[in-house]
Amino acid sequence: MAIDPVCGMTVDEQKAPAKTVHKDVVYYFCAPGCKRTFEADPDSILQRGPRGMAHSQPVQLVTLTPRRPKPEAAPASGHQPAASSDRQAAAKAATQTLTIPIEGMSCASCVAKIEQGLNDMPGVSSASVNLATEQATVEYLPKVTGPAAVQETIRNLGYQPVLAAGPAATEIDTAAKDALKQAHDRALRLKFWVAAALTLPVMVLGMGEHLGIPLTRRASFWLQLLLATPIQFWAGWQFYRGALAMARHRTTDMNTLIAVGTSAAYFYSVAATLAPTFFAAGGLTPAVYFDTSAAIITLILFGRLMEARAKGRASEAIRKLAGLQPKQARVMRGDRELDVPVQAVQLGDLVIVRPGEKVPVDGIVRHGTSALDESMITGESLPVDKQPGDLVIGATLNRTGSLRIEATRVGRDTALARIIRIVEEAQAAKPPLAKLADRIASYFVPAVIGIAALTFALWLLFGPPPALTHALLNFVAVLIIACPCALGLATPTSIMVGIGKGAEYGVLLRGGDALERAHQLTTVVLDKTGTLTKGEPSVRTVLPLAEGWTVERIVTLAASAERGSEHPVG
């Protein structure tokens, strides 16, 4: 193993993302960004040592090169293997994970651009972007970079990162995330319905001659222009915004295809409306294609609306898990009992849980005895007796007695928060198939633009008259039909739905790759009650074993005894 001379991270020389040779020594880097930093001033970096390591002692770099056989002795720097192993463990322990929701992604080529930009950052060990969840998962060294730098990189790439403000800026809570999504969905729904309402008369006017509408050609053109303009520049403004953001970075994405295609149809039609004599002078009959641009924008907005609904359903499992935790907790502050938001509970607080309430946080019973229903964690149907000194898990249900619990884990450290994190990480992880789709899509958009330009040129040169009209229509058709939406969205959405459904039924999948290989399973081992059963005991049959006893009499007596009881079979 080698040490990145810029950030100090341990790098496997066989899998290093970048390497360079300086003064006949090979140096390996965790990311291309570290390599560029090193090449800018290698002697200075080697003199001061890695930024991600402590500087209290001189730092010696371990550099290995595959051009020589593996040495039997210790590394050339004089370090023993144990020292390298300790440094590797320290570097791994120092790595933190950041999950950032991102606005403005539209296709798999966006995913590829953001991943490349993040992976090029110094101090970033890995970055994965999921189009279905619309978020990036970044592993980084906090001594080298941080959330603010990651945000700035995403923003410079033309997208909008979404982070909570304040000290806890490493994540955004579920409620805020839902509020943002709902606002986005409302805006998208409004744009679609307005665009659909305006597109319908444009389509009717476009077929006016066939439908016998008593309007002159010129009047029809002007009416279509008035109706299509709000569709093009209000409902479709998000495509222009995305395309301009990509153009600033000299790249393209799906928004580029839509903006170029619809603009070609729209501005050709505007020219035919404003200057019909120009076309007539060239022997062409002026024709407009406002219906084409309007219909394309409306249909793509409808597709985006369907995508948003699919993503919302796929994320339902996360919301249900988060909903298991109570919103309020009753804590002792001095001599007073106070109801506070569960986020305000601190380590060491004494929390009071009455019968029928959920335990708000993980902790230890300090006073009282009770029975807790822990089926949401363990799957076991019978309540578990608790007494002073026993551990309790947040979100479990207190059945009988009153408890006073000392909080030992709160916030992100509770068992429920860790389960939610496992599901979110699994949904964000990319199986090999999704990585392949993203890689293909990254080359797809430039190829489509090239093919569309070639199509336009061939139809213009060799097509039947009017050649310009045929060339324009086929140019727009190639751009719009070839949008790689499904290519980038189908695989991550299916992974989200699969993992979300699993979590809903109590099956936690640690990653999409496990789901992808599930068809190879030959044996399934079930280890506890509640996996195949309902998880709750119930009376199925009553059998009288003594003469003179009937089923009705037994049930009546049992019901009378159970009426004032909280027995789980009741």
CA–CA gap between residue 183 and residue 173 (Å, rounded) = 16
Assess whether 527 carries a catalytic annotation. yes
Question: How many CB atoms sit inside 10 A of residue 215's CB?
Answer: 13
CB 260 within 8 A of CB 273: no
CB 271 within 8 A of CB 282: no
Closest residue by Cα to residue 127 from 242, 17, 254:
17
DSSP conformation class of 151: H
3-state secondary structure of 16: coil
**Rounded (5°) CA angle 243-172-321:** 115
CB 271 within 8 A of CB 485: no
Closest residue by Cα to residue 65 from 25, 123, 6:
25
Q: Tell me whether residue 26 is exposed, middle or buried, using C-beta atoms within 10 angstroms of its C-beta: 0 to 12, 13 to 18, 19 or more.
A: middle
Report in angstroms the alpha-carbon separations of 171 from 145, 167, 168, 377, 393. 16, 10, 7, 24, 23
CA dihedral 208, 209, 213, 216 (to 10 degrees): 100
Phi and psi for 194 in degrees, rounded to 5?
A: -65, -45
CA–CA gap between residue 508 and residue 263 (Å, rounded) = 47
Helix axes of 485-504 and 415-428: crossing angle, nearest 10 degrees: 150
Q: Which of 24, 43, 339, 527 is catalytic?
A: 527
Q: Is the peptide bond prior to 466 cis by the omega test (within 30 degrees of 0)? A: yes
Please give the distance of CA 378 from its chain centroid, rounded to a whole number. 28
3-state secondary structure of 350: strand
CA–CA gap between residue 212 and residue 207 (Å, rounded) = 9
**Rounded (5°) CA angle 439-315-484:** 30
CB 31 within 8 A of CB 17: yes
Closest residue by Cα to residue 176 from 164, 188, 184, 167:
164
3-state secondary structure of 383: coil
CA–CA gap between residue 287 and residue 4 (Å, rounded) = 63
3-state secondary structure of 367: strand
Beta strand extents in 23-157 (DSSP E only): 25-29, 96-103, 124-130, 135-140
CB 239 within 8 A of CB 266: no
CA–CA gap between residue 384 and residue 379 (Å, rounded) = 12
How many residues appear in the chain?
570
Following DSSP, what letter does each residue of 154-179 receive, concatenated? HHHTT-EE---SSTTTT---HHHHHH
Catalytic residue ranges:
527
